[in-house]
């Protein structure tokens, strides 16, 4: 009975999704009718019907007819004029985009209407209590949880920000359309609003004409806070608090926040020469400015709301002290007792009452009223006085930041502005306590509680900025310093000599870098970065991440450069640097480095100075980052997944030896090929003991908008992070049941890696095939990121960044990086008689199950006929055999994945996702075929800007249809 009920609910929900698609599609058709005419709409509709018919035939197993229809569609595409191709590309791209908006709303609606929301705090807290976890343990674990979501500027967000605004507006209108109380007139007005938004989208240029700067990227990240997270965070924390109170009897403490946010936007300089020390400083100050600006608006709203006179003695004394100070210094003004901008309609027509001031009641009487023992004097609203003072200090803080951003001197007294969140929280908490003590708890737990929770979560910077730099740049810097000091060549020393030198210098008290040193620009930039980090301190900055880390000396080198900069800056400022030292986080990325990660951490912690430094300055906490993207490009997705699993086990074991707590930082991309996938699956499949109440994880590119672009989706994602980490902490996933399973994994991984590397790195034809069969070379014209697509000038795949590597294959629907090697590995294991073991591993081992499920998800998105079409038109005849072999390998991979999972076809266990994918195909397949034709023409006429624009629009459309890029 339950299954039937669920099926009916799913059908109703999917019907609503289709209704939304029809509504938006019809409105887009109306726009096209006005813009391009009826005849062209018929052309577009014919292409859609041909594609739909081909899809229907293929799903029915009638392959020959499907192939004929697809050839007819491709032939019609090839006969289009350039202007026709451009218009069709735009039309199908927008169809796919609005379907994506409808799909996001479909997920929001399902969550909203669910009687029992799985993975919610209420659901998981109840499961844990029923499973024997005591209320005390549950409460303490939630309160101690530390999860940080780090937003990055990895260039995978296709849509311009102006279009993102319009997409959000359409999503909001779809939500409004779900209201059951709308009358006919309301609905007509809503349709008109939707039509306006879709018209504006059509008439807006989809393409970025200039590359964004790192500051532009940072603004986009801060925009997510303004657009969504600012509203979502208090809502999410209320959910956590309510669920805790229900299941443990105690709410979440007001200043406790299980999730915080970090950023790499403006701090990630790995291979990006555009991120300079000045950029990092400006972005950090801008983030502070925005935080203060948000708080000023919130304080103003609160001043209007908290108009009551009753308060406790403590708040009364503070209000009187403020009045006394301000009247004495002639700074008191009436607006402190009344809000400057009432937050309700028609406010401009209201005459505000005058407040009682010193000039009105006389000096002697005024000072009597300041006595704490006396009651409130008439006309004074104490909360408004206190919040007026808060607003005044916030405005001075904002002005100070503006002066710093403009490189002007600041001579403010530190008492005049806020430096830390604790300073801002103090008066807010005092107001909160006063309201509760006066019987106004219902007011305290409203907007005021939300503001306190925002301050606790976002602090004074919204998102602390991580710095990231490649390990080789630090070695070059030490080379320059040591050569200047005539001490040798640092990079030629062995690891033991490096560690001996670094440890000795770290224990010393003198600076290492002379003021008079003259160095190359690249080295100067590294030194300048450390100086800026010392000036900003850990109040503004998060971690210092070392990419391509491979040795303990990589970490100590950063610690030494950091120490030296702090000594220099402290001497110049004449006072200690703000905050503490940044925690240094090695990032292990390649398979080789992942295999050595445990021994590197063990070596590092065995150094007395470093271990004591971690205990003293970082609360005995070591953070280690593992990279998913480069390991996948290095050895294939399956081998990367297994090496990441073992590396985490080794790092945890190494830290346990020394009694050091560990936080693992997961550098996950958006696509499966770069370690992406559903958050819950990813966290639940980590090794036991690797998630002990703490976790950091990147969210990149288009996934930032997809997960956090709307308040409703953001609340859901934050809840999923919380419950997944909680389960992994209190009910860790099972390890492999038998040692034999680990041996099977080694077998699969070895064969998989060999197959992958033989194809990608050892086949001399592969690189050329890759360039011919995909639009990789053309991706650089998208202007979607500030950094180059390659770390070095080499044309090989080794130095190509993981994002364009995955992005290019996603465009052709081949998604090769996510599956290549998997089929060979599984086939090898099955041939050795491990089939039943593999099926048992899938059923009982969460890590293996999630790995298989993610690969199966990719196979559900892959499309062999479309990939074949790219080869037939674009690839040289002597290399088409390679493409044919790869497509056969994809088919074999699907066969063996289904053998392991026991499913008849891909995504059998996720019917909802399969239906959503199938619904996009009538729009996605034509735009793929159009891309092939445009690529063919462009490669014969590569200076044609209109052709290039048409190609970039097809790239946008396919990204929208695949729901991810790189």
Is residue 667 classed as helix, strand or coil in its secondary structure?
strand
Retrieve residue 649's tokens.
Answer: 């086990």
Helix and strand numbers, DSSP H then E, in the chain: 39, 8
Residue 42 zone, left/alpha/beta (φ > 0; ψ -120 to 50; rest): alpha
From CA 8, how far away is CA 5, in angstroms rounded? 5
Residues 264/466, Cβ–Cβ less than 8 Å: yes
**How big is the chain, counted in residues?**
966
Contacts of 602 (CB under 8 A, 6+ apart): 654, 657
Is residue 148 classed as helix, strand or coil in its secondary structure?
strand
Q: Cα–chain-centroid distance for residue 703? A: 6
The upper half-sphere exposure of residue 533, i.e. CA atoms within 13 Å in the direction of its Cβ, equals 33
Retrieve residue 668's tokens.
Answer: 């996950």
Residue 791 zone, left/alpha/beta (φ > 0; ψ -120 to 50; rest): alpha
Is residue 795 classed as helix, strand or coil in its secondary structure?
coil
Residues 270/469, Cβ–Cβ less than 8 Å: yes
Burial call 517-543: b when 16+ CB within 10 Å, e when fewer: eebeeebebbbbbbbbbbbbbbbbbbb
In the set 119, 320, 563, 633, the catalytic residue is 633
Residue 541 belongs to what H/E stretch?
A: strand 541-547
Per the DSSP assignment, residues forming a β-bridge with 467 are 544
In the set 154, 166, 247, 391, the catalytic residue is 154
The set of long-range contacts for 483-490, using a CB threshold of 8 Å and a minimum separation of 24, is: 484/514, 484/517, 484/518, 484/519, 485/514
Residues 460/539, Cβ–Cβ less than 8 Å: yes
Is residue 536 classed as helix, strand or coil in its secondary structure?
helix
Contacts of 52 (CB under 8 A, 6+ apart): 921, 922
3-class secondary structure per residue, 803-843: HHHHHHHHHCCCCHHHCCCHHHHHHHHHHCCCHHHHHHHHH
Residues 55/915, Cβ–Cβ less than 8 Å: no
> Is 119 labeled as catalytic in the residue annotation?
no
Retrieve residue 746's tokens.
Answer: 């080694």
> Is 621 labeled as catalytic in the residue annotation?
no
Phi, psi of 129 (to 5 degrees): -65, -45
From CA 855, how far away is CA 932, in angstroms rounded? 26
Contacts of 21 (CB under 8 A, 6+ apart): 98, 99, 102, 919
CA triple 125-263-958, angle to 5 deg = 90
Looking at the annotation, which residues are catalytic?
A: 154, 633
């Amino acid at each position: 009975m339950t299954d039937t009920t669920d099926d009916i609910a799913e059908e109703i929900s999917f019907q609503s999704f289709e209704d939304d698609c029809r509504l938006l599609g019809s409105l887009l058709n109306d726009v096209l009718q006005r813009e391009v005419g009826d005849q062209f709409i018929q052309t577009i509709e014919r292409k859609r019907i041909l594609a739909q018919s081909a899809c229907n035939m293929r799903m029915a197993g009638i392959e020959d007819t499907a192939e004929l229809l697809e050839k007819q569609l491709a032939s019609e595409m090839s006969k289009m004029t350039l202007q026709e191709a451009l218009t069709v590309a735009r039309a199908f791209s927008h169809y796919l985009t609005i379907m994506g908006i409808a799909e996001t709303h479909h997920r929001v609606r399902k969550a909203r209407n669910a009687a029992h929301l799985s993975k919610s705090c209420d659901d998981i807290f109840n499961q844990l209590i029923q499973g024997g976890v005591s209320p005390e343990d549950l409460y303490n674990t939630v309160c101690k949880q530390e999860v940080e979501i780090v937003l990055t500027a990895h260039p995978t967000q296709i849509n311009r920000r102006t279009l993102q605004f319009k997409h959000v507006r359409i999503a909001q209108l779809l939500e409004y359309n779900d209201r059951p109380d709308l009358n006919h007139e309301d609905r007509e007005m809503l349709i008109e609003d939707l039509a306006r938004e879709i018209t504006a989208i059509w008439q807006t240029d989809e393409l970025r004409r200039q590359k964004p700067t790192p500051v532009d990227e940072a603004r986009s990240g801060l925009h997510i806070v303004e657009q969504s997270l600012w509203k979502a965070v208090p809502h999410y924390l209320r959910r956590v608090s309510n669920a805790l109170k229900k299941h443990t009897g105690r709410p979440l403490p007001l200043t406790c926040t299980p999730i915080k946010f970090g950023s790499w936007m403006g701090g990630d300089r790995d291979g990006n020469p555009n991120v300079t020390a000045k950029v990092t400083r400006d972005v950090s100050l801008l983030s502070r400015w925005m935080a203060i600006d948000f708080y000023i608006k919130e304080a103003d709203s609160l001043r209007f709301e908290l108009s009551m006179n009753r308060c406790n003695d403590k708040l009364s004394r503070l209000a009187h002290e403020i009045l006394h100070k301000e009247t004495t210094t002639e700074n008191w003004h009436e607006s402190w007792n009344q809000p400057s901008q009432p937050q309700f309609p028609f406010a401009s027509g209201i005459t505000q009452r005058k407040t009682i001031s010193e000039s009105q009641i006389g000096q002697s009487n005024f000072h009597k009223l300041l006595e704490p023992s006396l009651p409130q004097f008439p006309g004074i609203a104490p909360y408004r006085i206190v919040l007026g003072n808060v607003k005044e200090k916030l405005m001075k803080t904002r002005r100070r930041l503006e002066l710093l951003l403009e490189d002007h001197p600041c001579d403010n007294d530190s008492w005049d502005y806020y430096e830390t969140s604790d300073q801002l929280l103090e008066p807010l908490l005092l107001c909160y306590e006063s309201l509760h003590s006066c019987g106004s708890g219902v007011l305290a737990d409203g907007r005021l509680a939300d503001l306190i929770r925002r301050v606790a979560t976002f602090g004074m910077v919204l998102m602390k900025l991580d710095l990231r730099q490649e390990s080789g740049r630090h070695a070059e810097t030490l080379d320059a310093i040591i050569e200047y000091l005539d001490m040798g060549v640092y990079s030629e020393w062995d690891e033991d000599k490096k560690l001996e030198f670094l440890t000795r210098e770290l224990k010393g008290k003198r600076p290492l870098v002379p003021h008079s040193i003259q160095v190359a620009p690249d080295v100067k930039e590294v030194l300048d970065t450390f100086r800026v980090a010392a000036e900003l301190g850990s109040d503004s900055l998060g971690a210092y991440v070392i990419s391509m880390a491979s040795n303990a000396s990589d970490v100590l080198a950063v610690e030494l450069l950091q120490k030296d900069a702090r000594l220099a800056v402290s001497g110049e400022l004449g006072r200690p640097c703000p905050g503490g030292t940044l925690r240094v986080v090695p990032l292990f990325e390649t398979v080789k480095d992942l295999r050595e990660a445990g021994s590197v951490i063990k070596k590092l912690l065995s150094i007395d100075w470093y271990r004591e430094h971690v205990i003293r300055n970082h609360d005995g906490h070591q953070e280690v980052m593992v990279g998913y993207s480069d390991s996948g490009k290095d050895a294939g997705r399956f081998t990367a997944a297994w090496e990441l699993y073992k590396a985490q086990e080794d790092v945890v074991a190494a830290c346990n030896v020394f009694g050091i707590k560990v936080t693992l930082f997961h550098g996950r991309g958006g696509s499966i090929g770069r370690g992406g996938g559903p958050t819950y699956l990813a966290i639940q499949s980590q090794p036991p003991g690797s998630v002990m109440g703490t976790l950091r994880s990147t969210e990149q590119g288009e996934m930032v908008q997809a997960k956090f672009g709307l308040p409703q989706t953001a609340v859901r994602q934050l809840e999923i992070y919380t419950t997944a980490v909680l389960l992994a902490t209190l009910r860790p996933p099972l390890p492999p049941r038998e040692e034999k399973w680990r041996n099977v994994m080694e077998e699969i991984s070895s064969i998989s890696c060999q197959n992958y590397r033989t194809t990608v790195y050892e086949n001399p034809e592969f690189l050329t095939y890759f360039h011919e069969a995909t639009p990789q070379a053309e991706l650089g014209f998208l202007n979607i990121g500030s950094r180059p697509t390659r770390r070095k000038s080499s044309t090989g795949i080794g130095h190509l960044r993981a994002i364009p590597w995955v992005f290019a294959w996603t465009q052709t629907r081949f998604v090769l990086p996510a599956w290549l090697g998997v089929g060979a590995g599984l086939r090898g294991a099955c041939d050795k008689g491990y089939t039943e073991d593999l099926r048992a591993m899938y059923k009982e081992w969460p890590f293996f199950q999630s790995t298989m499920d993610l690969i199966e998800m990719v196979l559900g998105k892959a499309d062999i006929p479309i990939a074949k079409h790219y080869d037939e038109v674009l690839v040289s005849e002597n290399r088409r055999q390679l493409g044919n072999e790869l497509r056969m390998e994809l088919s074999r991979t699907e066969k063996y994945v289904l053998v392991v999972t026991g499913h008849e076809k891909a995504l059998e266990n996720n019917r909802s996702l399969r239906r959503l994918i199938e619904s996009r195909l009538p729009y996605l397949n034509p735009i793929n075929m159009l891309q092939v034709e445009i690529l063919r023409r462009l490669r014969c006429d590569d200076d044609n800007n209109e052709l290039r624009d048409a190609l970039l629009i097809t790239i946008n459309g396919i990204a929208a249809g695949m729901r991810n890029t790189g």
